[in-house]
Amino acid sequence: MRLHQNITIRRSVRADLTQFADWVRPKITGASLNLAVITDTHDRTQLSRTFYGPNGFWHVQEQHWLAGELPIDWRVHLGDLVDGSEPSFLTLWRLRNIVNDYAAGALPYVIAKGNHDDNDKYAERNRRFAGSFHPWVFNEHVFRPMKAQVGGPSVSRHGLSVFDWANIRVITLNTSDVPVRWVGGRKNYDVKKTLAVTAAQVQELIDALQTAGTRDVLIMGHAPAMTRSGKPGLRFNGRQLHEVLRAFNAKLSGRVVFGQHPDFGGTATFDFRGTTGTIIAYVAGHWHTEEDFRINGIHYSLLNVSALMGRNHGLTTRYNRKWNRLINTPTEYAGYVLSLDTQRRTLAEYGYGAASAQRLFTY
């Protein structure tokens, strides 16, 4: 059944996504869980033909249209909805437009917080760090309507969300879980530069894992906990987060120690002996590339940035330079359908635009 046909998207994009939908539909029909996923739209009002712009919002609308053409169960955005490089009233307007698009659809949705979503990129250019959002802005305009959905996810105090589907538990982390204070009129942390989870959020993660029962667990978040080289992917508590996932797979009980840092220290206790599931994967964005690697048996899968990254821009990653991404072509955008089959125990990632067509993994 097709939905949302009243959504207006660019004619060329509709043609490209129709072709993608026709190709992927038979591959995902009958799967246990299908997610339409984009990440890092970096939406802003200023148009650039080489680097970010209002096409970030267009990509959200195009995901909305595509989800209506396929047997999609949930829509997902893995953070950096906005670039955070404009005055706060403009960034908030762009942020609310994106959330309104998700809220207007018939499908449930999950949005992760990204490190650009507090507008700190704009504030960095001001001596007093003016224009930066307090965390209540994202909580009020994103997490609150997300939590209010009928049949939507639960959302914890620290921005961790959980929903269950077809014997799968999906947990979405907040990797910008940064305790914010204003000291002398200046923010104590630049959230754009501070990827982190607090000990309290890791305890919330533990609680969600302990009650998973027989379910396998898909972890999502803006940034990965670990890098391919085995180093933490977060400034604070990436290693501890990873070790909790390892403990879940091993069905251990015990305690994780976070050190003495006043904002990110503490301890958390876990007991996973009553669960039988496994971690399917940890799916993230943030790095503006595609990668798959395993650290201690945990599969990390990175998705490419939706936002335009032109080949000649100084901040464009090597991966996106290879795509030679151009506005008003299929390489302008990048998005995915993640399809989970609990019988075959497979995770398939199907990409459109500047993304790999197919990545298939067992768990």
Cα–Cα distance, 215 to 170 (Å, whole number): 10
β-strand 334-341 against 291-295: which pairing, if any? Answer: unpaired
Q: What is the pLDDT of residue 346?
A: 98
Instruction: Give tens-digit pLDDT for 55-105.
Output: 999 999 999 999 999 999 999 999 999 999 999 999 999 999 999 999 999
User: In Å, what is the CA distance from 16 to each residue of 21, 138, 326, 352?
Assistant: 9, 33, 15, 9
In the predicted model, is pLDDT for residue 4 greater than 80? no
In a domain, 111, yes or no: yes
Cα–Cα distance, 29 to 26 (Å, whole number): 5
Q: What is the pLDDT of residue 293?
A: 98
Percent of all residues in the chain with a pLDDT value above 90, rounded to a whole number: 95
Q: What is the pLDDT of residue 183?
A: 86
Instruction: Give tens-digit pLDDT for 299-348.
Output: 999 999 999 999 989 999 999 999 999 999 999 999 999 999 999 999 99
In a domain, 299, yes or no: yes
In the predicted model, is pLDDT for residue 185 greater than 90? no
Q: Which domain holds residue 270?
A: 11-362
From 328, 304, 327, select the one nearest 317 (Cα to Cα).
304
Which residues, in sequence order, are bridge partners of residue 341?
A: 346
Burial class (CB in 10 A: 0-12, 13-18, 19+), 2: exposed
CATH number at residue 86: 3.60.21.10
Q: Which two tokens stand for residue 65?
A: 């249209």
In a domain, 3, yes or no: no
From 106, 94, 107, select the one nearest 142 (Cα to Cα).
94
pTM of the model: 0.97
In a domain, 4, yes or no: no
Rounded to the nearest integer, the mean pLDDT of the chain is: 96
Phi-psi region at 306: left, alpha or beta (left = phi > 0; alpha = psi -120 to 50) = alpha
Q: Which two tokens stand for residue 3?
A: 């939905």
Question: 7: pLDDT confidence band, cut at 50, 70 and 90?
Answer: confident
Q: What is the pLDDT of residue 76?
A: 98
Q: What integer is the mean pLDDT of 104-108? A: 96
Q: What is the pLDDT of residue 123?
A: 95
In a domain, 2, yes or no: no
In a domain, 317, yes or no: yes
In a domain, 5, yes or no: no
**Alpha-carbon torsion 51, 56, 58, 60, what sign?**
positive
In the predicted model, is pLDDT for residue 1 greater than 80? no
SS3 270: strand
Instruction: Give tens-digit pLDDT for 253-281.
Output: 999 999 999 999 999 999 999 999 999 99
DSSP state, 142? I
Instruction: Give tens-digit pLDDT for 110-153.
Output: 999 999 999 999 999 988 899 999 999 999 999 999 999 999 99
Q: What is the number of structural domains in the chain? A: 1
To the nearest 10°, the Cα dihedral for 142, 158, 127, 116? -50
In a domain, 6, yes or no: no
DSSP state, 249? H
129-133, 171-175, 235-239 — which is least confidently predicted? 129-133
Q: What is the pLDDT of residue 5?
A: 53
